[in-house]
Chains A and B, each alone.
Chain A
């Protein structure tokens, strides 16, 4: 591999948002391994203890180590939402490009269905899904992927519609290439930039939704924990300004605001 091709490869990655997502994914995978205690273990008699050398972020409402629980909670929030986003956007991009390529009845049916799904507020769909199927990891991930698929579908369909009219796609159709080949080789590579920004945005939405659900007590159930449920269970610590409630709340804020700022700076001012 030459220096020039390496440089070109490097330039194609949306820098800051890409690096941020990589950081959070690494933290999600490695974090629980670095945790000093077991997540469910009661390690102190003091509840809502402040920051100390032994417990870097103090203890929670039962006397468990907050740093440990924060690392595990961050891990489940990031991994669950990343999986849901990946499923939502894979489905949305695939169906969106197919609809743009085939048009006609396929396009109309898909678009009508997606319009129907999008007409339900996301928190509401999630609540209905949890009421029907109970709250478990597969239900939450599948519900989130279905909720965020229409948005991804709409974006990809719009992007793909402008690409399928271009000469190189027409040429590929003339050659008699299969739809799968055209989507993978001709259409997708030319819309990857905006699609990636869209993926980042949907990841933020998913983090917001999961955190809200868990905060309401209908998201991830114990012994599993995420950033929303960590904030919920330690809410009493607010009175003492305990790190047990401030740490998870701050982590959510840094995760969502940081990524949104990065995406925003990448987009730039429209005018």
Chain B
């Protein structure tokens, strides 16, 4: 009973810490974007703007009020679901972001479905055949993938699959999806690219987890008893690595967020990340703010999940 209470307290502490982080992020995002050197009003109206027009716009955007007052107004808006309107399109940013978010979640979901099994199999086989040519080849290849910037993988994928092999279209467009065939065609490039990024990261972590498990005393015991490799993997290794592997998956999916930004921009995929890059280029601050908050929220959610799973798995090990 006491151990359970301690465990619950530890989990609550992790959740509390990430809530503190979320508040920190919210405050940081506001203050970094609020302390503009130039003024949004000037930027929006251009050089031809009259001083009166600039003053009127500044007033309507609350820019004439002190920063702290604007922060209170902003947070109050957030708490009431009012995230402001885009400076460029004048539409509510919440609606703009949420319709794009669905596309991004679809892309991330399909990628995860595809990349997670591949990475687990690749990492596990590399760990089983450790220090063979196969393991070295996988290690080298995944090291290359995790070293280079994501856009390089996207560029290489376009070069191979679209330019050289003419297999896939280089651009994704959600609007002209009418059949399974066209769905696969327009999704395959972004998904393939994103999957490469994730598989590189994740198979390296999986290999480390598996090597750790394979070196454990109960596996050694099973080997000494003469159990077959398949028996050892299924009965002794897998039950002991499920929790650490969940940790690996959650961490990898948080890496997916960084990849999404590049992949959506390269393939003109209409997701929330390309919306954010466009809004950064246009310096559309309310839109940047909500995109940043959604991304940080998702990232914090995944890392918190990974922390909790890691905690639970270490508890299990102590118990065993």
Contacts and interface: CB of A to CB of B under 8 A. Distances in A.
B301 to A, nearest CB: 11
Q: Is the interface of B mostly helix, strand, loop or mixed?
A: helix
Interface stretch (B4-12, B155-163, B177-185, B231-239): B155-163
Contact of B258 (A116, A122, A211): A122
A119 B148 contact: no
B25 A120 contact: yes
4 tightest CB-CB pairs across the interface, nearest first? A116-B24, A119-B21, A215-B151, A260-B147
| A interface majority secondary structure | helix
Given A132-B32, A257-B143, A238 B149 contact: no
Contacts of A127: 261, 276-277, 280, 288, 292
B285 A131 contact: yes
Contacts of A245: 155
Interface string B293-306: 00110011001000
Contact of B143 (A131, A241, A261): A261
Contacts of A228: 149, 151
Nearest to A260: B147
B160 to A, nearest CB: 10
Given A130-B280, A217-B281, A218-B281, A123 B151 contact: no
B37 interface: yes
Contact of A119 (B38, B279, B299): B299
A253 B257 contact: no
A216 B262 contact: yes
Contacts of B35: 132
Contacts of B254: 121
Interface string A201-218: 000100111011001111
Given A127-B277, A127-B280, A119 B300 contact: yes
A61 to B, nearest CB: 15
A107 B161 CA distance: 51
17 contacts: A116-B21, A119-B296, A120-B296, A121-B257, A123-B262, A124-B295, A124-B299, A133-B36, A134-B37, A211-B152, A212-B262, A218-B280, A245-B155, A252-B149, A253-B152, A259-B147, A264-B143
B21 A115 contact: yes
Interface string A107-120: 00000100110011
B288 A131 contact: yes
Given A119-B24, A228-B151, A249-B155, 11 more contacts: A119-B303, A121-B295, A123-B258, A127-B277, A128-B33, A208-B149, A209-B149, A215-B262, A259-B147, A271-B211, A271-B215
B32 A128 contact: yes
A6 to B, nearest CB: 34
Nearest to B32: A132
B5 to A, nearest CB: 25
Interface residues of A, number: 44
Nearest to B140: A261
Contacts of A128: 29, 32-33, 280, 288, 292
B264 to A, nearest CB: 10
Interface of B: 17-18, 20-21, 24-25, 28-29, 32-33, 35-38, 143-144, 146-152, 155-156, 158-159, 163, 211, 215, 254, 257-258, 261-262, 265, 276-277, 279-281, 283, 285, 288, 292, 295-296, 299-300, 303
A131 B148 contact: no
A253 B150 contact: no
Given A116-B28, A212-B149, A212-B150, A131 B33 contact: yes
Contacts of B17: 115
A245 B159 CA distance: 11
A133 to B, nearest CB: 6
A210 B79 CA distance: 35
Contacts of B277: 127, 216-218
A129 interface: yes
Contact of A260 (B143, B156, B215, B265): B143
A127 B152 CA distance: 19
A257 B143 CA distance: 7
Nearest to B295: A124
A239 interface: yes
Contacts of B211: 271
Interface centre among A119, A133, A212 (most CB of B within 10 A): A119
A216 B215 contact: no
B288 A238 contact: no
B84 to A, nearest CB: 14
A216 B156 CA distance: 16
Contacts of A209: 149
B296 to A, nearest CB: 6
Contacts of A259: 147
A211 B152 CA distance: 9
Interface string A88-119: 00000000000000000000000010011001
Contact of B163 (A119, A122, A132, A239): A239
A62 B51 CA distance: 40
Query: Looking at B148, B262, B276, which has the most chain A CB atoms within 10 Å of its CB?
Result: B148
B155 A238 contact: yes
Contact of B155 (A216, A235, A256, A257): A235
